[in-house]
């Protein structure tokens, strides 16, 4: 992070004449791996483009995005804490962005700013790429915030047997269940909610889960959303624990490992959601290899 200068945190498309310019916008943004990922995609596909960072003050997203596109910018990736601002800024939303309630990808089409959400698709592709079967699985999603909401639709489309949303406040989890009940029923998926402490109860957790996804922010600190008792009920050796945070073995991952389960951090999700955005911007026929990029980043 120390090698990133202040001027690297503001991408001005007018400084790159004749080149398509993209950026990732967030606050903070110096740590973002998105430029490294997209630069690798551009190299793989022989695309001439520039991808930079854009650090925006809280409350300043709309003006910054308007200035970026006004100066000739072609597209933005959007990260914390601006995904809701991006949704409001977009003129047109994709169906999955509407369902996710947030936007992580902006681009221009026919003079309008379009908003999409590639997070859920990125999560699903990373899980499947690791040989984990979602179809027919019992899935536990921890958290009921924007990160959780953004992945429920794509998870349901994979036809799990059941999706349980567990959150500190069950009321918030129930809101998501209500929002996605129609889609769950259309895919013949059982959907339910509970508070996190209820996972300690054998009535709520009569058997372990095949796939457990941590979409809470607990992994950013040294905490897990699961108590020790709940972890012992939720995980068995055949379980797969997916942590959306990347770059470290979190307390949640350690709990899963203690029960003999397989684990993954969220770096693959980051790469896969970026791949979706890249193809939206550069065209679906462009050839890129997200797994090769992931391998490079893991070295």
> What are the domain boundaries of the chain?
6-117+269-298, 121-265
Buried b (16+ CB within 10 A) or exposed e, 209-232: bbbbbbbbebbeeeebbbeeebbb
Average pLDDT score over residue span 28-41: 95
Tell whether the model's pLDDT for residue 3 goes beyond 60. Answer: no
Q: Domain 121-265 - what CATH class?
A: alpha beta
* pLDDT tens-digit readout, 285-294: 999 999 999 9
The mean per-residue pLDDT over the stretch 99-124 comes to: 96
pLDDT at 121: 97
How much is the pLDDT for 1?
38
Question: Domain spanning 6-117+269-298 has what CATH number?
Answer: 3.40.50.10860
Q: What is the pLDDT of residues 180-232, one digit of tens each?
A: 999 999 999 999 999 999 999 988 889 999 999 999 988 888 899 999 999 99
Query: What is the tens place of the pLDDT at every residue in 226-272?
Result: 999 999 999 999 999 999 999 999 999 999 999 999 999 999 999 99
The percentage of residues in the chain with a pLDDT greater than 70, rounded to a whole number, is 98
What pLDDT is attached to residue 4? 56
Mean of per-residue pLDDT scores for the chain: 95
Active site residues: 83
Cα atoms in the Cβ-side hemisphere of radius 13 Å centred on 162: 12
Same topology between domain 6-117+269-298 and domain 121-265: yes
pTM of the model: 0.94
Nearest to 142 by CA among 238, 247, 251, 258: 251
Measure the CA–CA gap between 228 and 230, rounded to whole angstroms.
6
Give pLDDT, residue 5: 60
């Amino acid at each position: 992070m120390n090698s990133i200068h202040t001027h690297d945190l503001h991408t001005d498309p007018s400084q790159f004449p004749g080149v398509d310019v993209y950026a990732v916008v967030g606050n903070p943004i110096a740590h973002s791996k998105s430029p490294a990922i997209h630069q690798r995609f551009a190299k793989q596909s022989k695309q001439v483009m520039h991808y930079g960072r854009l650090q925006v003050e809280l409350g300043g997203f709309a003006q910054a995005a308007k200035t970026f596109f006004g100066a000739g910018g072609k597209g933005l990736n959007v990260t914390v804490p601006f995904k809701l601002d991006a949704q409001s800024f977009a003129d047109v939303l994709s169906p999955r962005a509407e369902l996710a309630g947030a936007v992580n990808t902006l681009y221009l089409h026919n003079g309008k700013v379009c908003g999409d959400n590639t997070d859920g698709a990125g999560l699903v592709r990373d899980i499947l790429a690791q040989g984990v079967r979602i179809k027919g699985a019992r899935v536990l999603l921890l958290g009921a915030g924007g990160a959780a909401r953004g992945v429920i639709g794509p998870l349901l489309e994979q036809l799990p047997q059941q999706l349980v949303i567990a959150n500190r406040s069950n009321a918030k989890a129930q809101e998501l269940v209500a929002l996605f009940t129609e889609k769950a029923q259309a895919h013949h998926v059982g959907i339910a909610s509970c508070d996190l402490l209820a996972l300690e109860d054998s009535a709520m957790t009569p058997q372990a889960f095949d796939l457990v996804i941590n979409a809470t922010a607990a992994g950013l600190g040294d905490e897990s959303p699961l108590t020790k008792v709940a972890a012992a009920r939720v995980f068995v050796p055949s379980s797969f624990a997916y942590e959306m945070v990347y770059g470290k073995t979190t307390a949640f991952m350690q709990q899963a490992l203690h029960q003999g389960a397989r684990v993954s951090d969220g770096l693959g999700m980051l790469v896969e959601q970026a791949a979706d955005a890249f193809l939206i911007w550069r065209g679906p026929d462009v050839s890129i290899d997200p797994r090769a990029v992931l391998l490079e980043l893991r070295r």
